[in-house]
Structure formats: structure tokens, C-alpha cells
Amino acid sequence: MYFFTHFSILIVRFLYFCSRYKFVMDYESYTLENGIRIIHLHSNSAVAHCGLIINAGSRDEKDHEHGMAHFIEHAIFKGTKKRKAYHILSRMDDVGGEINAYTTKEETTIHTSFLKNEYERAMELIADITFNSTFPGKEITREKEVIIEEINSYKDDPAELIFDEFEELIFQNQPLGKNILGNVKDLRRFTKKDIEAFIRDNYHTNEMVICSVGDISFTKFKKLAEKYFGHIPANPRVLQRTKIGNYLPQIKTIKKKTYQTHCILGNIAYNSHDKRKVAMTLLDNILGGPALNSRLSLLLREKHGYAYHVESNYSPYSDIGVFSLYFGTDKENFNKCLKLIKKEFELFKTKKLGIVQLKKAKRQLFGQIAINSENNANLMLAIGKSFMLFNKVDDLQKIKEKIEAVTVEEIQEIANEVLDFEKMSMLVYQ
């Protein structure tokens, strides 16, 4: 079991897009009577992928539940009414498949990969651990220690830790600012009743999507979904998430014993439903995307040799987004890096991209999306998340039209709004 970190950002960045690139999406969907939605895309591969996405994550935790969403992601593997932990872990492994899970700020996802003739085994297991877990005391106590070690290992990696602490900084005292792992103090207090209360309050059937990519007919897939998920009592969401309060820029420096100075700076951006999301993704990719020729990589690494790793990230949530830029550098080069970054931001704000530059940037984004979407496991998660958020998955033509519609004026307008240094927060480890 694992949670998403910034090293998984390529999947997150294109999760919405990659589902639209590989195919003219000939998916099929259906809603069970209890509100659980299913979506399936046929593939001729011998390997199939299936998952359950639940629209509940760390931002849904109450003050005394910090870390609960991630803890449950671990706890559901520890025993059900008919299986012990060993049998859960072995169920897919015995046939050469695998089962895993992850937690984000807004979702909990359980997913499997397996040979195509094991669909029923996979779907039955997902349903069993999601809805029939018993959370046995000894297993839960032991798993708390496992997560504490996970927290400790995370603290040992400043290049990872700084991302969560940055969101804590910009969303102070708000649910979205909570790190996913939680803290040791709250974790040790969690009881079986606490777990069951969080599930009851947040695992809403109309906020669940069963997604699949594999060689199975939709008729059979639908029957399996009805068999293993159709009897679950309806539990629709009534209350909406707490809205994010007004953003105020924050600057914070933390003394740490590290060889490098680690810095992350950024600003709030656009939510998952905002029409400017496409252009924001393109701007982010130009600035510090995964390609070695991103503007900031060329500037800080290739031209000046100030940084080994520099990246920008755009993370859209349901009601807000975050743009951030991370780099690590020697202490004596820190201010030089900031000066260069600020200058680059000003260029985007004051000078429009050339038509050729924009065309190249769009082609690069298309290529990255295409390569990422070749992975059917990613594709399965992508169509599931798109269906969760929008109740649809657009075809290739529509997404191409959206990306091609981005103009140099739109990029500049977004740059002036998001890349404004006066509005940026900054967290530094020195």
C-alpha cells in the first residue's frame, strides 16, 4: 500500500488527459441501484486492470482523524469476515496478479492487475476488503507501527516532506492542508469505532466508481459488479466538503541538517472543473515538466549548473488548485536560483510565447500523454477518475480541440495571475 507523492506527479498531471488520448473512448458505463458507477474499456491484452475509486481522502478527516484515510487504506488488508490478512495478500498473488491501494487528498483507490480470466477473483476481493473488513485488534496495532515507520522514513527525505509541508503552509488550519500520513499521536489513538465512523461518514456509494480496462464483455463485467457490489446499501453524500478559505501568501524557513537547500514556492491555481485547467497544465509543462528541455531545467541545471533537480507541479483539486515549483541547490546558489526563477516568471507575464514555441509545447504535451497512456493500469485509473469527477470521458477529438484552442494570450493571462511573485508562498529547508 502506498500514497501518492510528487514522484507520482506525472500520472497525476495527465490523469485527466491520458484517458482522452489513446483511444476514441469506446467505453461503456452503468450505475447500480445503490449509486455506485461502473465504467469499462475493452482491451485485447492478456492482462486486465480493475479498481475502485472512492471520493474520500485526507481532506475529509475531522481534527481528531488526522491520517485516518491513509490508515484505513492499510487496515482494510488486515482481515475480513471470511479472510485473514495472509489470505487477502495471497488472493491475487497466487495467480500472478497484484492488489494495491493509495490515498490522496481527495481519493482512496484500491486497484488490481491480473490475467484476464481472473476478473471475478479480483472484483470479489476488492468488494470484500472494502465492505467486509473487520479491523482485528492485533493486526491494527501492528499496522500502526508499520505506518509510524513510514512516517519516520518520510521525514528522512526532505525532497518528499517539503511538498506536504508546503500545502500545510498555504492551507493553514484547513482540511486540504493536512498531510496524508497523519501524525504518530493521532494514529496511536485510532480505534475500530473510529475507523467505522469515518467509513460510514465518507464512503458514499454515489461517490464510488468501479473502473476496468481488459478483455471482458461489458455484459459480464456488469454482472460481476451487480453480484459483488449491487447489494451494498445506498449511502449517498449529503454534506459537501468544507470550502477552502481565503488564501494569504506565507513565507517560512526551517533549519534542517541537509547538504542542500530545498525550496518550494507557489500559488493557488485552478480547480478540476475550471476551463483554464488545460492552459494551466500546458504552462506548467513548459516551465518545469518532466522533459529535460523544460524552461527551468534548461535555465537552472543546463545553463548554470545550480540544481540537479527542478520541477513544477500543478495539482487541481475539486474546488481549488495549487501550482508549485521545487528545486534543491547548494546554499550559496539559493538566491541566484530565486533571481533566475523570478526573471523567468516575469518573461511569461510580460512577453507572449511565439506561435512556434506554443506549437512545440502542444506537440510535446501530446507526446507525453500518448506515452503515459500506453500503460493500461494508468488508463484504468484515468477513466475512473474522469468518470468520478465529470461522469464522462471525452474522446480524443475533444481533448485535441481543447489543447489546440489554448492561445498565447491565455498563457500570458494565466502567467500574470499564477506566476505573480507577490502572491507566492515559499517554504525553505536550510
Alpha helices (runs of H) in 216-317, residue ranges in sequence order: 218-229, 277-288, 295-296
> In a 3-state reduction of DSSP, which class is residue 336?
helix
Same-domain status, 314 and 221: no
**What is the pLDDT at residue 413?**
97
Q: Whole-model pTM?
A: 0.91
- What average pLDDT is seen over the chain? 92
**What is the pLDDT at residue 398?**
74
- Beta partners for residue 54, in sequence order: 108, 208
Same-domain status, 362 and 216: no
Does residue 246 lie in a domain region? no
Instruction: Residue 180: name the closest of 200, 160, 206, 210 by CA.
Output: 160
Residue 182 and residue 67: Cα distance in Å, rounded? 4
Does residue 240 lie in a domain region? no
Which H helix or E strand runs over 323? strand 321-329
Provide the pairing of β-strand 47-54 with 98-103.
Answer: unpaired
28 pLDDT above the threshold of 70: yes
Range from 46-50, 70-74, 210-214, 397-401 carrying the lowest mean pLDDT: 397-401
Same-domain status, 170 and 210: yes
Domain count, the chain: 2
Range(s) of the domain holding residue 347 = 251-429
Does residue 129 lie in a domain region? yes
Same-domain status, 198 and 261: no
Same-domain status, 138 and 284: no
Does residue 169 lie in a domain region? yes
pLDDT grade, residue 396 (50/70/90)?
low
In tens, the pLDDT along 108-162 reads 999 999 999 999 999 999 999 999 999 999 999 999 999 999 999 988 899 999 9
DSSP at 429? E
Residue 300 and residue 296: Cα distance in Å, rounded? 6
Does residue 99 lie in a domain region? yes
Edge-to-edge strands of the sheet including 37-42?
Answer: 28-31, 37-42, 208-214, 47-54, 108-115, 98-103
Can you give the CATH number for the domain in which 338 is found? 3.30.830.10
Does residue 127 lie in a domain region? yes
Same-domain status, 195 and 258: no
Can you tell me the mean pLDDT for 403-412? 94
Which H helix or E strand runs over 192? helix 192-202
Query: Which three three-digit cell numbers place residue 95?
Result: 495467480
Tally the C-alpha atoms within 13 A of residue 274's C-alpha that lie toward its C-beta: 20
Residues 6+ apart with CB under 8 A from 305: none
Can you tell me the mean pLDDT for 45-64? 97
Boundary (domain end) residue, out of 199, 229, 259: 229
Which H helix or E strand runs over 356? helix 355-372
Residue 55 and residue 314: Cα distance in Å, rounded? 20
Same-domain status, 40 and 181: yes
Boundary (domain end) residue, out of 229, 261, 286: 229
Tally the C-alpha atoms within 13 A of residue 215's C-alpha that lie toward its C-beta: 9
19 pLDDT above the threshold of 50: no
Does residue 241 lie in a domain region? no
Does residue 267 lie in a domain region? yes
In tens, the pLDDT along 175-194 reads 999 999 999 999 999 999 99
Same-domain status, 90 and 181: yes
Question: 302 or 245: which carries more pLDDT confidence?
Answer: 302
Q: How many CB atoms lie within 10 A of CB 180?
A: 23
Which H helix or E strand runs over 400? helix 396-404
In tens, the pLDDT along 333-349 reads 999 999 999 999 999 99
Same-domain status, 91 and 200: yes
Same-domain status, 270 and 198: no
Same-domain status, 341 and 202: no
Tally the C-alpha atoms within 13 A of residue 339's C-alpha that lie toward its C-beta: 7
Query: Which three three-digit cell numbers place residue 140?
Result: 491494527
pLDDT grade, residue 394 (50/70/90)?
confident
71 pLDDT above the threshold of 80: yes
pLDDT grade, residue 279 (50/70/90)?
very high
pLDDT grade, residue 1 (50/70/90)?
low
Range from 38-47, 391-400, 415-424 carrying the lowest mean pLDDT: 391-400
How many angstroms from the chain centroid is the CA of residue 338? 28
Q: How many residues does the chain have?
A: 430
Same-domain status, 292 and 221: no
In tens, the pLDDT along 260-278 reads 999 999 999 999 999 999 9
How many angstroms from the chain centroid is the CA of residue 182? 17
